[in-house]
Amino acid sequence: MERRRPQRARDPEARRRALAAAALEVISEVGISRTTHRAVAARAGLPLGATTYYFPTLDDLIAAGLRLSAADLQSDFEVWAERLREAADIPAAVAELIVEYLTDRQRAQMECELYVTAGRDPALRPLAMAWLTGMRDLLEPHVGTAAAHDVVTFFDGVTLRALITGQEVDPQTLTSTIRRLTAP
């Protein structure tokens, strides 16, 4: 008599989350344009059929990963808002946030991929806009509308430069630039 292996209960939500997280990892490593169902399934340790079952199109799979990233970003914004509320020196606190953000180069790379793709794909624009508006809303009460816009633009430029050059950013230079951008 042949013994049957006990079947594990499948958790559809856990699989969806695992696939979305794997999509983010693949996107950050190879870019959105080179992300495939096969690569995501391999990264998640799930069969290829699971990716197409839960996410019938590649766009669905990529969007799920990007939604997961947006949810993580919202959590970060809540932590950052608290830090800024407690900060005695807003420019120095923002510079510190930038430095910390850039310690996770993989995530920063993926978010830059989102920006570029959102420029071509209107369906992804709301996810990319979550970063722009979230960061602006976070800064506005501390520095005003115009300065918040300038600092967010600066943050984006610093991020791109750091990713392209691979160089670390200097917190003192960031602080002095942010101080100039936020001066009345």
Q: What is the pLDDT of residue 63?
A: 85
pLDDT at 59: 86
Residue 164's SS3 state is helix
Note whether 181 and 94 are within 8 A (CB): no
Q: Is the dihedral of CA 58, 64, 65, 70 positive or negative?
A: positive
* pLDDT exceeds cutoff 90 at 124: no
Residue 3 has a pLDDT of: 53
**What own/partner pairs with CB < 8 Å and gap ≥ 24 does 167-172 have?**
168/102, 169/98, 169/99, 169/102, 171/92, 171/95, 171/96, 171/99, 172/95
pLDDT of residue 8: 45
Tell me if 4 is assigned to some domain. Answer: no
Tell me the C-alpha distance between 37 and 56, whole Å.
Answer: 10
State residue 142's pLDDT score.
96
Of 38, 26, 49, 37, give the one whose Cα is nearest residue 113: 26
**Distance in angstroms (rounded) separating the CA atoms of residues 79 and 77:** 5
pLDDT tens digits, 8-17: 447 889 999 9
Which of 27, 57, 53, 54 shows the shortest CA–CA distance to 40?
27
Q: Is 160 part of any domain?
A: yes
CATH of the domain at 112: 1.10.357.10
Q: Tens digits of per-residue pLDDT, 28-73?
A: 888 888 999 999 999 999 999 999 999 999 989 988 888 888 788 8
Is 1 contained in some domain?
no
Range of the domain at 168: 12-182
More confident residue, 146 or 3: 146
Is the pLDDT at 1 greater than 60, yes or no? no
Q: pLDDT by residue (tens digit) across 127-183? A: 888 878 999 999 999 999 999 999 999 999 999 999 999 999 999 999 999 999 999
pLDDT for 123 beyond 70: yes
Domain contains 5: no
Q: Is residue 2 part of a domain?
A: no
Residue 145 has what pLDDT?
96
31 within a domain of the structure (yes/no) = yes
| Whole-prediction pTM | 0.81
Q: How many independent structural domains does the chain possess?
A: 1
